[in-house]
Structures are given as C-alpha cells and as structure tokens.
Amino acid sequence: PTAPSVLTMNGHLAGSGKNLSAEDFEHGVQIIDQDKHFNENLPAYLQFGGIIRAGFNYHLISVFGSQSTGKSTLLNYLFGTDFGVMNEQERRQTTKGIWMSKNRKEHAQESHRMAENILVMDVEGTDGRERGEDQDFERKSALFALATSEVLIVNIWEHQVGLYQGANMGLLKTVFEVNLQLFLKDSKNIPRSLLFFVIRDHLGTTPLANLRETLIQDLQRIWSGLSKPPGLEKSQIGDYFDFAFVALPHKILQPEKFEQEVQRLGTRFREGYKDPKRAGLIDEDAEPILLPQYHRRIPADGFPMYAAGIWEQIDSNKDLDLPTQQELLAQFRCDEIMKEVLVPFDEVVAPLEALQAEATAAGRPSMIAELGKKMAGARSASLAAFEEEASRYHKGVFKRKQTELSEKVDGRLKTLFQNQMTAAHKTGINDFSEAVTTAVKAGQKKGGNYDFYKIVQTEKERALKKFEADAQGSLVAETPWSDYKQQLKLYRKELDEVSARLRREEMRRLATRSERWVKQRLDESIGLEFNKLGSGRAGSGAPAEGTPPATEKDIWDRIWNAFTDTVSHAEQRFTQRAQSFDASPDEVEVGLWRLRRKSWAALRGKLDEEMMEGNLLLKLRENFEDKFRYDDDGVPRLWRPTDDIEGVYTRARESTLELIPLLSRFKVSGTSAAPPLDAWIGEAPGNVTAADEEDLQPIGGLDEEEGKTLEDEMTILSDAKAQDLSARFKKTADGVYVEAKRSAIGGVTQ
C-alpha cells in the first residue's frame, strides 16, 4: 500500500513530485484503484477542488448498489460529475475501485442551492462479473465508505424491493456488521449515518410508502439475524442509522420525469437541522439530508491522511480503530500545523535572536526597539493560527500540542526578554554612571557649587523610570515570563552600589579639594610667618589689644595655631559637604582623618621648603641685618667710628643664632614639648581600608612600624645641619660686620 501522503497547510503535496492539472481530475480522483492502492494524489485533488482549507465545511456522500444499476448515471445527473458510465453496447463494468468527485452542480435558485463542497464517492458495484464471488473488496469498500461518509446512498431497482435474498441485502448485512464493529471500538464518537435508499425505475403502481415499509421490514430482519457482539444484543437498527427513501421514474421510458425528479432530489443535498419530531425518519418530502450529526468531523486538510490511514488498516485486515486513527491524525496534523505556524514566527524572532547573539559575542549590550510589540505580534499570530487550524482535531491531542507550542514560543520569547532586560540593566547602569559624572564635571566647571546628592537622586530616578519603560516595552502582557520584579530589584541594587562608588569618588574629590585648600592657606600663612623672621622684629606691627606681642619665640605656637585653625575650618566644610550627599558617619570620619594626615604632610612639606638651606640662610641674614643695621625704632644706623659696632654686632648675631635651635624643632613654647600631633590626628578609624591608606605618608610617632618617633617627626633640622648652618651664618654675619666697620672708618676718612 502507498504510504500516507504528507499534506502541508498550503495543500501542496509533499512527495508526489508530479504537477497535476485540471485534466488529471476530469473524472474526479480514483481514491482506491482496482489493485486496492490508495491514491497519493487525493490532497492535490482537494486542493484543486478548493476544499483543503474548508475545515469542516464539506460533505462526503457514498453510493452503493449492485453492478449496473445506474449509480454512476445518477451521480452524474445529481452532481454534474463525470463518473464512467457503462456503455450500452458493451455492458462491461466501468467503475473500478472507489472514485471521488466534487459536486459540480450549480443551482440557480438560492432556495434550492446545494451545500458547499460536497464530495461524492462512487463505490464499485458488487456481484460484478469482473470480480466474481470476491466479497473481500465489497466488505472493505463498505467499511471504508461507512467510516468516512455522512450519507450512504443505496441504489436499488424497484423490482428488487422485497427480494430479501437479493445481492443488495447481502451488502446491507455487511454494512450493518462493520458498523457494529466500528461502534464497539468507540461507542461515543461514531456518528449516526443516513442510509438513503434511491429506488430506480419506479413504475408508480406501488406507492413509495409501501416500498419503504417492505424495505424497513427487510432491514429489521437482517438486523435481527446478525450475531451481535456482547453488550449490544438488544440494540436496534435505529440506534445507529437514519433512513430516507426516494423513488425515481424510469430513465429510458420517462426521461423528462426522470430528470425533473433528479433535479428535485438535488435540492435535498443542502445543510439542514434535524427536526426532533421526525427523528430516525426523514420523509420523502424535500427534507434536507446533510444534517450536522452525520458529519464525521475530520477537518478537510486532514482528510487525505485520515482516509489513507483507514484504508491501510482495512486493507491489511486490521481491526479498524477510528479513535486511534483520529488521534494519530491529530498528532500528525498538529505537528505539521505547528511547523507551519512557526515559520512566520521564526521570520520575526530568529533575526532578533541573531541580533542579541551578535551583541553578546561582541560584549556590548544592545536594546531591540519595540521588542514587546514585535514579540506579541509574532506570538499571537502563531498561537491564533494554530488554534484555528488545529482545534478541529482530537481535543486532547490539540490541547497537548497547543501547550507544546506555547512552551516553544514562550521559551524563545522569554530568552529574548531576559536578554533584553540584561541589556537594559547594563546600559542603564552605564548611562547612570556617565550621567552623574557628566553632571559633576559640569558642576565643577561652574565653580564646584553643585548638589551631588540631588544629581544622584535625579539620575537614579531617571534610570529607574527608563528601566521600567524598557521592561514595559519589552514584555508581552499576560505571559508568565513577562515579570521583571526580580530584574528591577537587581537593577535597583546595582544602582545603589554604583551610587555608593560614585559617592566614594565624590568623597575623594572633596578630600582633594579640601587638601588643596589647606595647602594654599598654609602656603600663605606659613610663608608669612617665615617672612616675619626676616624682619628681625617678629612683633613689628601693633598687636591686637590684650594679646601679648608676638615674638620669634612663639613662632611655632603661631604656626600650630594657624595650622589647626585652617584644618579645622577645612574639616567643617568637608563634613558639611559630605553630609549633604549622604556620606555615612564612617565615611566622614575616615575622610577627616585622612584630611588631617594630608594636611600635616602639607605643613611638613611647607616647613621643609622654608627650611631649605638657601632660604633659611637668607632669612637669617635678613634677620641679622635688620637687628644690626636698624635701631630699636627701625631707623637705619649710620656707623661712626665711636659707635660700639662690635657690641651691636655681637648682640644681633647672638639673637639671630638663637633662631637656629628654635627653628630646628617644632615645639610648643609653653612646655617646650612637641605639639600634640598624635592626639590631634587621632587613632585611625576602625573602618579604614588599605585603599584609604595607600597614598598616606608615614608620620613619626603615629605610624609605629616606621620606627620614627614624634620627636623625629618634629625635628626640622638635624643637629649637624644646625651647626653647619650656624657656621655659615656666622661667616655671612662676619662679612656684614666687616663691611660696617669699614664704612664707619671710611665715613671718617671722607
């Protein structure tokens, strides 16, 4: 037997390889040939007839009856088909196997219009000369027709009515038997069938009602004679079949009447709803025949495969199991339909997936615009198309396959969504960090008076809003995967982390600014103190009321005070600023501690600069000259030979020389001890990190591991240096003295 052909949704026949045209279907299609082969061109025929996409909107009618009883002739008249008719001269059987053709009759009158998409099967007659006593095909074709058709037309001569032993009755016995066999398999789903008796060559002497009575009695007799399977012993023929009867005049003797009656009969092949009062019996009135309860409910696109499967089972003498066939069909067709609906889905989704894969490979996050809209469109289109096509099949299979499809679709969409959210996260964090940095830079350019806290808050809010908008634009409403609460939580968390990092950076900037400010202030104020040394009268200028006049002796007190004042001022500003952007007390504490240490280093640097040999020598010389050359009132001395030049010189020199040990060590005048630098800087806060300490210079007395004491830290000039400096200063002073002496003598000489 031919393998069932595979039918795609477009009705293209896979595997047939032939291009079939209208000519090939002139006589319909031979579904089953004389060798009992199933025709693989059935899908192509349904496609050709425009039926393949009709869903349930089609009908299948079969005709039975003895050989040469005018069956094909009747069908051709009724449905405008072109089934082969026996040639009058040769009287040879023409119909081989089972042929199918679509109704070609158009009825002009709307009220007489036939149903759409009627397919007619012309089943080879029995007791044919060609087949002899071969009952095998008769049984198989009866079973095939019964399993697929809504209406079974039984064609019978009037004179055969009542001939219980006649060939027709044998066929009907077969039909009833196979029906019981089918019914046993699936009592719930086997629909009723209509047996429609067409009595030919009706002479009119016996009324149709009588003929009908006779036939029904015969049918009941056949039924009671059947050996019924257990459980169905009491069943009635009417439980499975409806009957209808019509009589047609003699075609040869009354050709006009024949055609008229056939025309009338045609109008009964229209859709109709069963009148419950007439249940079981549709009368000879022109009642509609195609009642919904007869429909086999096999979607048109699945019919070729279903029919092929059934024929294969029948032909291989297997028990025909329609429910299993329908389930197999449903599985096959649902898989096919799924493939079909995934094609347009793929066309939308695959490029998006490629885009993301590329971006991921390149290591840069990439957002897909209007992702949600694109995904929703592709999703609903494929799910809707599947529902429309596949829901006509076995409900259980359909539901299962529908779930499979949504899982497939949603699995891919979920990945797209999650990648998109990852991209939104990464770009969002980047943008946030950049926006804050840019705003800070702009603020710095405008003079540094910006509100860091507000910048961060504003940008954070903006980033969160953007993320939510991105998420909303990337999801598909009412899907289980379109939830971004978790991602939003992670995003918020990282925003907070980045904020903390940016704040630490801002703290560093603030610290740098504070240090620079301290350094500038110290440069000025300490420079000034040292400049005062040069005047030799540190106290020159009126001291403020109530304060003792400044002397060289308390230069260190003044430096210490100026230093601590400056730093404490800077500390205040630092604290204020840091608090304004929500720095934690711990962060502030570390910042202040660092500021004090850095400030001390700055002061120490400034002192070293002032104490550089050349600078200091110059200061000492100025100091000495000021004391030597000017009197106590600041008036320049004009040396006369009588003057005690040597005495003035000695006093001035000794006074200046005293500065050297004084400047050699940083000490507080009251106690002569080092200033309380250690206490002033304080212990390192507990939460100081290695990074915080990285750029700090060691300070003697504080950082024990350096082995330097506070005394060391406060030593500005080593003893050796101080001695060297004294010697060099003395030489300079001597020079000044000699010059003065000379000028005094010279003044006299002149």
Contact between 30 and ligand GDP per CB under 6 A: no
Query: Which residues does residue 30 pair with via DSSP β-bridges, in sequence order?
Result: 99
CB of 76 to ligand GDP, least distance (A): 8
CA dihedral 184, 186, 192, 198 (to 10 degrees): -50
Phi, psi of 13 (to 5 degrees): -90, 115
Contact between 394 and ligand GDP per CB under 6 A: no
Contact between 125 and ligand GDP per CB under 6 A: yes
241 three-class SS: strand
CB of 217 to Mg ion, least distance (A): 29
Q: Which does 536 bind (CB under 5 to 8 A by kind): ligand GDP, Mg ion, none?
A: none
Contact between 230 and 237 under an 8 Å Cβ cutoff? The reply is: no
Contact between 85 and ligand GDP per CB under 6 A: yes
- H-only helix segments in 66-205: 71-79, 135-148, 167-185
Smaller CB separation from Mg ion, 95 or 101: 95
* Choice from 41, 47, 67, 326 touching ligand GDP (CB under 6 A): 67
Contact between 71 and ligand GDP per CB under 6 A: yes
Indicate the residue type of 716: I
Smaller CB separation from ligand GDP, 160 or 325: 160
Contact between 702 and ligand GDP per CB under 6 A: no
Q: Which does 252 bind (CB under 5 to 8 A by kind): Mg ion, ligand GDP, none?
A: ligand GDP
302 three-class SS: helix
Q: Is residue 416 within a helix (H) or strand (E), and if so which, with residue range?
A: helix 395-445
Contact between 653 and ligand GDP per CB under 6 A: no
3-state SS string for 502-562: HHHHHHHHHHHHHHHHHHHHHHHHHHHHHHHHHHCCCCCCCCCCCCCCCCHHHHHHHHHHH
What is the rounded distance in angstroms from the CA atom of residue 489 to the CA atom of residue 424? Answer: 13
Binding site for Mg ion (CB under 5 A): 71-72, 95
CB of 126 to Mg ion, least distance (A): 12
Contact between 88 and ligand GDP per CB under 6 A: yes
Contact between 198 and 246 under an 8 Å Cβ cutoff? The reply is: yes
Smaller CB separation from ligand GDP, 4 or 65: 65
CA dihedral 161, 163, 165, 171 (to 10 degrees): -10
Neighbours of 546 (CB within 10 A): 5
632 three-class SS: coil
Two tokens at 66? 């003895």
CB of 130 to ligand GDP, least distance (A): 11
Between CA 262 and CA 271, with CA 266 as vertex, the angle to 5 degrees is: 160
Neighbours of 428 (CB within 10 A): 22
Contact between 117 and ligand GDP per CB under 6 A: no
Contact between 72 and ligand GDP per CB under 6 A: yes
Smaller CB separation from Mg ion, 138 or 218: 138
Contact between 68 and ligand GDP per CB under 6 A: yes
Give the distance from CA 84 to its chain's centroid: 61
Beta strands at 98-102 and 118-123: parallel, antiparallel or unpaired: antiparallel
What is the rounded distance in angstroms from the CA atom of residue 739 to the CA atom of residue 741? Answer: 5
Smaller CB separation from ligand GDP, 95 or 149: 95
| Closest listed residue to residue 463, CA positions, set 420, 426, 437 | 426
| Closest listed residue to residue 311, CA positions, set 152, 167, 123 | 123
Two tokens at 443? 């603020």
Q: Which does 69 bind (CB under 5 to 8 A by kind): Mg ion, ligand GDP, none?
A: ligand GDP
CB of 295 to Mg ion, least distance (A): 26
Smaller CB separation from ligand GDP, 127 or 284: 127
Q: Which does 336 bind (CB under 5 to 8 A by kind): Mg ion, ligand GDP, none?
A: none
Q: Which does 361 bind (CB under 5 to 8 A by kind): ligand GDP, Mg ion, none?
A: none
CB of 68 to ligand GDP, least distance (A): 4
- Stretch 233-272: interaction string toward ligand GDP, x if CB under 6 A: -----------------xxx--------------------
* Choice from 11, 28, 70, 675 touching ligand GDP (CB under 6 A): 70
* Choice from 5, 30, 39, 95 touching ligand GDP (CB under 6 A): 95
CB of 112 to ligand GDP, least distance (A): 22
Contact between 371 and 416 under an 8 Å Cβ cutoff? The reply is: yes
Stretch touching ligand GDP by CB under 6 A, among 61-69, 344-352, 613-621, 664-672? 61-69
The residues in 178-207 that bind ligand GDP, with binding defined as CB under 6 A, are 200-201
Smaller CB separation from Mg ion, 96 or 173: 96
Smaller CB separation from ligand GDP, 251 or 598: 251
With CB under 6 A, what is the number of residues at the site for ligand GDP?
A: 19
In eight-state DSSP terms, residue 50 is T
Footprint on this chain of ligand GDP (rule: CB under 6 A): 65, 67-73, 85-86, 88, 94-95, 125, 200-201, 250-252
